[in-house]
Each structure stands twice: as structure tokens, then as C-alpha cells.
A and B are shown apart, each in its own frame.
Chain A
Amino acid sequence: MEEKGWEPRIVAFVCNWCTYAGADLAGTSRLEYRPEVRIIKLPCTGRIDPLFIIKAFEKGADGVLVSGCHPGDCHYTSGNYHARRRWIVFRELLKFAGIDLRRVHFSWVSASEALKWRDLINEVIETVRSAGPFEAYRRLNP
């Protein structure tokens, strides 16, 4: 199944205030991590719609990551709580539809957690790699 030289493609939807700043700090600290992730910045995880994730799969992502502020730290107080609820349900839906949950990741990364961000990205990429290319979804394309 795995193509030679294949590397997974990951899309990360992150909030502007915590995770995006944490990823910036990883840069400022010159931490090194695997490059197969593309970040899309939103103001808050509460803005993230399940459609974003579906569209990412349609466009060839092998895995997605959604990351925001820790509970209690949301810049907008409760956006991450709203998001958490949405993900509880959406994750179960994807699972029920038969999507390998190794492709769908959620995390809290604060603006100070550069190390966590680095480890998270490496782990996510490794996990998605173990799931292989998401050919099954790409085959749906007309």
C-alpha cells in the first residue's frame, strides 16, 4: 500500500492565540520537527467547522490536527469548550463512518508549549504515516 518515498500530508487547524503562538515559539527556539504539516490559522478553535476537516481530506490530506488553547485559557473564554463538544461528536461520527482515527488528532497547546508542539507534530506525522496514504478517501473524488 505504502508508496515508496511517500510522506503523509497533515493539515493543522490552530487558534491564533495559543497554538499558533506556541508553534512560533518552537521556531524562535529553533526546535526541529518534521515538515509535513501545513498550518491554517483561525482566531479560535470555536471557529473550526467540521467541514474544514472533510474538505482537507477531500483535498488529499492524510491526517488532520486541530489544536487550541487549554481549557480555561481561551482568549475568548469559551471558544475551546464549544470546540471540544463539537469534536466529541464529530470524532465519533468519523469513527462510525469507518475513518481511521489515527488520521484525526486534537490537542491543547499553549503559547509556551513549544516542546509539546514539536513532539506533537512528530507524533502526529508518525501516527498518520502508520495509517498510510488516505487513498480510500481520495478514491471518492470524481
Chain B
Amino acid sequence: MDREKKLREKARELLESKEVDLVIGYGWTRYGKRVAPVFITRPEDVDRLIWNPMCVNNLTLYITRKYPDVKAMGRPAVVVKGCDAKTVNVLIQEGQLKREDVVLLGIPCEGVVYRQELYDGEVTKENVSPKCVVCDVKNPPLYDHLIGEKVEEGSGFEGARNIYQEIEELDKKPEGERWAFWMEHFERCIRCYACRQICPLCYCERCIAEKNMPQWIDTSAHGRGNVAWNLKRAMDLAGRCVFCGECERACPVNIPLNLINQKLSMVVEESFNHRPGYESEGHPPLIVYSLEDREDFIR
């Protein structure tokens, strides 16, 4: 594939010129059926890099403070889709990264699959990732090297499940039903924290879930702690989440986390006119304020 070839060429060039010490990209797993992150340090290994609709991971995860070992490998280049590139903007906003610390290999993307096991050679409205259905960043908003030509923006997955529609429908239901909906999901939570581990914006040195004294969030996998955990995580991602969709994909018990995160994204956009990840200037909306913020709910 053309893009794949160009990607390998660029990776080789960067490694050979020592501009970077490491290229983080996608590669085949041992059995050649699934895609996983690969870390290429030698120019002769660049052919391991691949690009196809199974490349779902948000690889910016590996350039956060969560991965000191990756940091120790030197200056990285990271393959980013449009959605992933937005993460970089938020990381810059939050002082986690300087733009010059990373080389971004932006790759125009026409949609990835929701789960790799659903892929059968084609991205369809049945197997597409929900973020791709409403995607407006097929071409990365920031990059150092664009791999291949840009593609036309706009979604082509008519009839696919639309997250905003689902949120709207949920909004319309009576409170009791919404509560039941979420409790049914949250009760299943096994508190494995896969959502947190895969999220590039959940980079806390010590997660609030692991803070005792006081233990705000019960650690056992019970309704009480599960609700507190999921609400707190949603709240902390509000105005920051770039909808890479990784948390929902990683969740072993299929909690529809995209719904709750995107609901808050909608609230933040409506209320503060802020869409995370589109620029690196400014601050996350919940640490600033405007005198004009609405207060129709305050007595």
C-alpha cells in the first residue's frame, strides 16, 4: 500500500538521520492476524511498520509520563491519526509535552474498525469505530510529516451507529430509565482500570482511585465505588477528552464509556464553546472561567 511504503520510507529517513531514536507505530502481532503497537529503533526494522484499518490504538499513550521506559529510549516519532493527533494538543496544553519533543507522522485515515476481530478486509457501517462515524479530522490537525495525500473530510458510514444520536435518545428517556441503564452497566465494572491504563490523558502519577486517606472512591468492585469511579473519571475528562474511543474499546465488560465522555464534550462545547484538541494554546476549559458562564440553574 502506498501510505505504508511512504511511512516506512519516512521512518527509515528519521532513524538514519538520527532525528529520532524511536518510531512508535503499528505492526503485526506474532501470528500476523492482529495489529499491535511496535517500537522501531533500527532503520533496518522499518518494514515492520504497517498501516491498515485495524490500526486503532492511540499511540500517543506511549509518549506520556506513564511510560518512562519509552521516554528513556530517546526522541520519538509517533504515527498519529487525526483523532490521536488531538491528544497531542491537549498534552501540550497541560504541560505534559513540548511540541518539539516529538515528531508526528500524521496519517490521513478513512476509518478504523471498532474491534479488530470484527474486521474482514473492509470497514463497514457494522464494524466501524463509532468515532469514525462522526469524524471531522480524517486529516490530522497537526503533524510534522504527512504520510501520503490528504483525504476528503466527511463521513461515509451512513446508517452506522451514531453516538450523538444515542446520547440524544438517552437524554430523552426518563431519569429512572437512564439510572437503570447506567447502573446495569456500572454494576458490571470489575475495576480493572483498563479504561484508565489505555487513556493517554489519564496520566496521573497517582490515580485518585488509589488514594487512601481519604479513600474517596471505594476500591472494591461494588456499585458504590463503581459509580463514584466512573463519574469521577468522566468529570476529570470533561473538556479534555478528544474522543479517541480507546477506553470503551479496552473495557472488558463493554461499558459504553464513549456515551458518557461525549455527552460531557457536548456540554462543554455548548456551554464554553470549547472543543478539546483542536489547538495547543489556551487552557482546559474547567480550570478557567468566563464572567458570562450560564447560571440559569443557580438560585
Q: Which residues of A are at the interface with B, using a C-beta cutoff of 8 A?
A: 50-51, 54-55, 58, 71, 78, 81-82, 84-100, 105-108, 120, 136-137, 139-142
Which candidate, B51-59, B140-148, B226-234, is the interface stretch facing chain A?
Answer: B226-234
With A89-B235, A96-B170 known as contacts, the answer to whether A81 contacts B271 (CB < 8 A) is: no
A142 neighbours in B (Cβ, 8 Å): 218, 220, 222-224
Check A85 against B299 for contact (C-beta < 8 Å).
no
User: Can you list 19 residue pairs at the A/B interface with Cβ under 8 Å?
Assistant: A50-B231, A50-B235, A51-B232, A71-B295, A82-B287, A85-B272, A85-B286, A85-B288, A89-B268, A92-B263, A92-B267, A93-B231, A93-B235, A98-B177, A98-B182, A99-B175, A100-B175, A108-B298, A141-B224
13 more A-B residue pairs beyond the given contacts A71-B291, A97-B227, with a C-beta to C-beta distance below 8 A: A50-B231, A54-B231, A87-B298, A89-B286, A90-B235, A93-B234, A93-B260, A96-B171, A97-B178, A98-B179, A98-B182, A140-B224, A142-B224
User: Which of A55, A137, A140, A141 has its CB near the most chain B CB atoms (within 10 A)?
Assistant: A140
Check A98 against B231 for contact (C-beta < 8 Å).
no
- List B residues 230-283 near A (Cβ within 8 Å): 231-232, 234-235, 238-239, 260, 263-264, 267-268, 271-272
B227 neighbours in A (Cβ, 8 Å): 54, 97, 137, 140
Check A98 against B181 for contact (C-beta < 8 Å).
yes
Q: Looking across the interface, which residue of chain B has its beta carbon closest to that of A53? A: B231
B293 contacts the other chain (CB 8 A): yes
B127 to chain A, nearest CB (A): 27
